[in-house]
Every structure is written in C-alpha cells, then in structure tokens.
Chain A
Amino acid sequence: MIFNIPFSDILFYIVAVFMIFAALLAVVSKNILRNAIFLIATFIGTAVLYLMLQAEFMAMAQIMLYVGGVVVFIIFAILLTSRLGEDYLSTPKSQKIGALFLAMTFLAITLNFLIQNSNLLKNVSNATPADSSLSAYGIRLLSYAPDGFLLPFEIISILLFMTLVIAITIAKKDDKEEK
C-alpha cells in the first residue's frame, strides 16, 4: 500500500538516503575537492529538510552561509594549497578507528535518547507551528525578553565588528615596510 504513505514522507526518505550517501562520500572520497562538493550536497539536503518543515528562511540561510560562504572559502583554501589531486589525504589507521568509535558513540547516544523519550517522536504533529517568516525572525531578533534576542544579537554584532576591524588592521600596509 505504498500510495497510502503521505507524499511528504516519501520525499523525506528520498532526501534522507541522498544525504546519507553524500555524507558518506564526503568522508570516504580521496580527493579533497570532491569532499567539499559532497559536503555541499549534504548541505543542500539539509536545506530541503528545512523547506519541508516550512522554515523557508532557515533553508535560504543554510544555502547562503554554507554553500555560498563556508564551502566557497574551503574550496578557495584548497585551490591555494599545492599538491592537489594527489592522494595526499590518506589518514592513518589509528585515526580511522578513533573516528569510527566516536561516530558510533554519537549514534548510540542519539538512539538511546530517542528510545527513552519516544513520546517526543509520537507527539510531533500536536505541536503548534511557530511563525517562521522573515518578519517574525526580524521582530524576535530586535525585541527583548521574554521571547526576544536583542542582547545576543547586539553582542554578535560587536563580535563581527571586532573581526572586521582586526581583518583591516592585519591587511593594512605598514608605513615602514613601504619605505
């Protein structure tokens, strides 16, 4: 009775399988640039999941920041390094075993949590949907307690400003050097 499954469920499984494969390839692939490409595929999958949860702005921010920002900078860094394309990224076996152990521990903890709190999974549809529109985001970021985030927002903006000033200070030409 495949047709009795809601359409969105089928879509979810397609996206989930796609994401798992992309994530695996991002780790397994030998070429570091290809890893970055598969990482993009996983990010796009995450964005699709956000879209399916009707969090449009989150999906757009995911693609804008991760695909357009972070991964592009990663690729930039990769392109500027030498010895690309060679099998330069082989990790020692001890690291691989450690990574496998860490991943498995994380999976076990997550599964354990979900099994113990299985009512969280069952009552999802009862939760009231929050307003996830762009204006709601803006208003909540700029309003204060109890449900606003004005203080964190301002602190982050100061942090960003500091980063900008530091970047300019580093990039600035020293007067003595020019002479």
Chain B
Amino acid sequence: MILPSVTHPIGDFVRENVPNILGYLPEFIQPYIPSAEIATFININICMVAIAIIGIAPVPVLIYMERKVCAHIQCRLGPMRLGPHGVLQLVADIAKLLFKEVYAPIGADKFLFYLAPIFVLTAPFLNLCVIPFDKNLQVADLSVAIPFILAMNGFGILSTLLGGWASNNKYSLISSLRSGAQIISYEISFAMILLLVVMLAGSASLGEITASQSGHFWDWWIFKAPGLGILAFLMFLVSSTAELNRAPFDIAEAEQELTGGFHTEYNGMAFAMFYLAEYINLFTTSCIATVCFLGGYHAPTIGILAIDNILNYVPGIVWFLGKAFFVVWIYMMFRWTFVRPRVDQLMALEWKFLLPANLLLLILGVVFLAFGWILP
C-alpha cells in the first residue's frame, strides 16, 4: 500500500469517501473492487492536475514579465498592440505555435528528435512536486527532496544533448556540447550550495527546511547565518542562472554564433516545449531559492505584534509566490544587465572561482554551526 507523505484535507476526503461511494455497487462484485487503490489513483490524478496547473499557469505571466522587464530596461515599451499593454500578445504567439507543423529535418534521428522535447519537461514538473507552496500545498514531502531535485536536473542535460545531436545540424551539436559541459560543471556548485542549506537546516526535506526558518524575517537562512547566507544566496543565483542556460550564461543559445543553439531545428509545439521548459525551470528554481533562503511560505514578520498579525493574516501561498516572483525578477535583471562571457571564461568562473569558494563556504558553515554563530 502506498502511504501519503503529507496529510491533506482533500486527500483524506477522497480516501474516506471512495469506499463509501463504491459501496453502492452490486453485492457480487464488491470483493473484487480495490477501493483503497482507486482512492490512491484518484489522489494521484488530483496531484498531477495540480502540478500541471501550477507549472503552466506562471508561464504566461513570466513571458509577459520578461518582455516588459527587457523592454523597460532598454527604454522601450515592449508589446503594446494586442490588448491593453499587450497582454494578449502571448495568446497570438501560442496560437501561432499550435498551428505550425512539427517535422524533423532530413537525416535526423526521428526517435531521439521527438524524445528530447519530452525529456526536457520532466525535470521542471517533477521538481514542482516537492516544493511546499503552503503548509498543506505540497504533493510529496520527501525526506530526500534535495537529492531528488539534483537527480531530476540530470534529465535536463540529457534533453539538451539529445536534441542537439538528433537535429543533424553542426551548430546544434556544438551548442549541445557546450551547454552540456556548462550544466554539468555548474551543477556541482548548485548541489554544494543546496548541501550547505541541508547542513544548516539539518534536513534534506523541503518541508523541514521551511519549518527551520519560522519566526521573523531574520530567521530566514539568508540572514540567519550572518554573512554566510547572503554569500550563499548570491552564489546560488549565479550557478542556477548557468544551470538554467539563461543569459548572461546562455552560450548554448548564443544567437550570433550558433543560430539559436540546440533547438534550432525544432518548430511548432516541439520548440514550444523547450520554451515552456525554460520558463517552468525558471519558476521552479526561484521556488527552490525561496524555500532554501527566503523562508518559504512564512510571512516576513518584524517582531511588532500589531503589524505581524496583519502580515500573518495573508495566506502563505501569497507570500510564497511574491518571494518567488521577486527572485524571478532578480534573474531577469541579471539577464539584461550583464554581458555574455566566453566559453573558457565561463568554465574558469566555475572551476577556478565558484567551486573553491563553495568548498570554503561549506567549511565556514561547519565553523558557524560548531561555534553557534547562527542567530537563535
């Protein structure tokens, strides 16, 4: 029997009522009905729908936000024609992508060519399963959530490598090799920073990491370990930007050099899958940053009771999404502020600066824990 890891009102409701409803069926088939399993299946389907909604719903907002942030940084207005302030522009884009024909170029390995866009969506959706959006809004509170996130990110690399090779295009192949090397390298520092958080919080479950930051806003890990938290947060931003293949670390897509990178040959919905995965990944990584450093769904209470009560009155998911979109905004400012480094500079940044700095940070974390320099 599969047991739920999070007790949840909806899940309990289904588990209670499915046997009751199935009891109305005729007597002679009663012994053959696996009601507990049916309840589990219904719960699983509810979870999948919820994950699909929370995964897809932020994407239009993110794309609109990206266009507007980019435009305003460059002193433009961005999309303005379709709908008020161009909010309907995305609908037109989606319609265009939906009606395009998806075809593979001549000589491409069709099986791998169509497999890559499926792989690319695995990681972001599965990572959303372990994120606590509120006390009860979590699909699975895994005790190995951080290893799970790292494991699922492996599929992202695979899709990049496969998509680039299966396209039968030299530029795509170069791009996929570049980005593969980049993601593998930066995954190390990404993992190490998450390891630091696991060490400080004493647990690899995202629910418990969030619980370890309850209290006021200086109890969040970014402030709780003085100095260390802010450094770790900044390094997390750098390494995850590289991990997301976003500018300024988007050497994989470098339009000027590689005609668009590993998804050059994709069109229609197959291209839309890569595009979608990029933005869901952005949201997921922001959520991880929120959980690990910015206190998850906790309200930023400041220790004055009157104000705290008002802040606590706001639902946790609002705080969570607010913080997550703040991190997204930081990523977008990153993208349009810095210039793209060369491939060798990018690798040098990881192997010669970030990795030693991370090791140092881990040792510092041990020192902080041993001497009790962490705020109570």
B123-161 interface with A by 8 A CB criterion: 142-144, 147-148, 150-155, 157-158, 161
Interfacial chain A residues near B158, Cβ < 8 Å = 40, 67, 71-72, 75
Return the contact of A34 from the options B1, B32, B111, B203 (Cβ within 8 A): B111
**A34/B112 contact (C-beta < 8 A), A3-B33, A72-B184 known:** yes
Interfacial chain B residues near A134, Cβ < 8 Å = 143-144, 147, 204
Q: Is A79 a contact of B177 with CB atoms below 8 Å?
A: yes
Q: Name the distance in Å between A88's Cβ and chain B's nearest Cβ.
A: 14
A109-149 interface with B by 8 A CB criterion: 133-135
Measured CA separation A101–B143 after assembly (Å): 43
Q: Which of B37, B40, B144, B148 has the most CB of A within 10 A?
A: B144
Q: Is A60 a contact of B112 with CB atoms below 8 Å?
A: no
**A79/B112 contact (C-beta < 8 A), A57-B144, A67-B155 known:** no
Q: Does B57 contact A (CB under 8 A)?
A: no
Q: Mark B18-56, 1 if CB is under 8 A from A, else 0.
A: 000000000000011110010010000000000000000
Return the contact of B148 from the options A31, A40, A60, A79 (Cβ within 8 A): A60
Interfacial chain A residues near B176, Cβ < 8 Å = 79
Q: Does A152 contact B (CB under 8 A)?
A: no
**A60/B32 contact (C-beta < 8 A), A34-B111, A72-B161, A134-B204 known:** no
**A60/B144 contact (C-beta < 8 A), A37-B115, A69-B154, A79-B177 known:** yes
Q: Mark A12-44, 1 if CB is under 8 A from B, else 0.
A: 000000000000000000010110010010000
Q: Is A72 a contact of B157 with CB atoms below 8 Å?
A: yes
**A7/B1 contact (C-beta < 8 A), A37-B112, A64-B154, A79-B176 known:** yes
Q: Does A106 contact B (CB under 8 A)?
A: no
Q: Is A76 a contact of B112 with CB atoms below 8 Å?
A: no
Measured CA separation A60–B205 after assembly (Å): 13
Q: Is B161 a contact of A68 with CB atoms below 8 Å?
A: no
Measured CA separation A3–B37 after assembly (Å): 10
Interfacial chain A residues near B161, Cβ < 8 Å = 72, 75-76, 79
Q: Is A33 a contact of B180 with CB atoms below 8 Å?
A: no
Q: Is A79 a contact of B155 with CB atoms below 8 Å?
A: no
Interfacial chain B residues near A37, Cβ < 8 Å = 112, 115, 162
Measured CA separation A14–B82 after assembly (Å): 50
Q: Which residue of A lies closest to B161 (CB)?
A: A75
Interfacial chain A residues near B109, Cβ < 8 Å = 31, 33-34, 85
Interfacial chain A residues near B165, Cβ < 8 Å = 33, 79, 84
Q: Is A72 a contact of B154 with CB atoms below 8 Å?
A: yes
Interfacial chain A residues near B142, Cβ < 8 Å = 56
Q: Is B144 a contact of A63 with CB atoms below 8 Å?
A: no
Q: Name the distance in Å between A58's Cβ and chain B's nearest Cβ.
A: 10
Measured CA separation A31–B154 after assembly (Å): 22
Q: Which of B152, B158, B184 has the most CB of A within 10 A?
A: B158
Q: Is A3 a contact of B32 with CB atoms below 8 Å?
A: yes
Q: Is B147 a contact of A57 with CB atoms below 8 Å?
A: yes
Q: Is B157 a contact of A68 with CB atoms below 8 Å?
A: yes
Q: Mark B106-130, 1 if CB is under 8 A from A, else 0.
A: 0001011001000000000000000
Q: Which residue of A lies closest to B36 (CB)?
A: A7
Q: Does B173 contact A (CB under 8 A)?
A: yes
Measured CA separation A56–B145 after assembly (Å): 10
**A7/B151 contact (C-beta < 8 A), A60-B144, A75-B158, A76-B180 known:** no
Q: Name the distance in Å between A22's Cβ and chain B's nearest Cβ.
A: 13
Interfacial chain B residues near A40, Cβ < 8 Å = 158
Interfacial chain A residues near B40, Cβ < 8 Å = 7
Measured CA separation A66–B374 after assembly (Å): 37
Q: Name the distance in Å between B15's Cβ and chain A's nearest Cβ.
A: 15
Q: Mark B173-185, 1 if CB is under 8 A from A, else 0.
A: 1001100110010
Measured CA separation A1–B31 after assembly (Å): 10
Measured CA separation A51–B109 after assembly (Å): 33
Measured CA separation A69–B152 after assembly (Å): 12
Q: Which residue of A lies closest to B180 (CB)?
A: A76
Q: Is B151 a contact of A67 with CB atoms below 8 Å?
A: yes
Q: Does A170 contact B (CB under 8 A)?
A: no
Interfacial chain B residues near A63, Cβ < 8 Å = 151-152, 154
Known contacts A34-B112, A67-B154, A80-B177; can you find 7 more A-B pairs with CB under 8 A? Answer: A1-B32, A8-B1, A34-B109, A57-B144, A67-B155, A72-B154, A75-B161
Residue ranges of B at the interface with A (Cβ–Cβ < 8 Å): 1-2, 31-34, 37, 40, 109, 111-112, 115, 142-144, 147-148, 150-155, 157-158, 161-162, 165, 173, 176-177, 180-181, 184, 187, 203-204
Residue ranges of A at the interface with B (Cβ–Cβ < 8 Å): 1, 3, 7-8, 31, 33-34, 37, 40, 56-57, 60-61, 63-64, 67-69, 71-72, 75-76, 79-80, 84-85, 133-135
Q: List 9 A-B contacts (CB under 8 A).
A: A7-B2, A56-B144, A60-B144, A63-B154, A67-B154, A67-B158, A72-B157, A75-B162, A84-B165
